[in-house]
Amino acid sequence: MTDAKTQIDTTVKSNDVVLFMKGTKTMPQCGFSSRVAGVLNFMGVDYADVNVLADEDVRHSIKEYSDWPTIPQLYVKGEFVGGCDIVTEMTLSGELDQLFATKGVSFDKDAAEKIREANA
């Protein structure tokens, strides 16, 4: 698993935004992964997606790496942000916008506002 942890660390540190998920950004394979990928896709965020179903070592190691028991897991500029519930709450409160703005990650502010309006 050391190789998997090294691979995870390299991926997290070499991409501004990374989503470890079940499936891919274009074909999520679970509802929670689909929700987070959908938010990022709709907001036009450029992110790397890592399909944990394709590598059992990565699937287990990511949970140890973050000390977080569930997938998906979102990382921004090397920092663990959270899973589906946290990303959803942050999106609806505007905290995700603030995080992206603070970290210099480009996103569509109008799309973020549309998500909030649709869920108000």
Note the pTM of the prediction, 2 decimals. Answer: 0.95
Return d(Cα 70, Cα 94) in angstroms, integer.
23
* pLDDT given for residue 120 in this prediction: 84
Phi, psi dihedral angles at 100 (to 5 degrees) = -60, -45
Where do the domains of the chain lie, and which CATH numbers do they carry? 2-118 (3.40.30.10)
Strands 48-51 and 17-21: parallel
> Residue for token digits 């959803």?
88
- Is 30 annotated as a binding-site member? yes
Average pLDDT per block of 10 residues along the chain, 120 residues long? 88 98 97 97 98 96 96 98 97 97 97 94
* pLDDT given for residue 53 in this prediction: 97
Return d(Cα 60, Cα 19) in angstroms, integer.
15
* pLDDT given for residue 104 in this prediction: 97
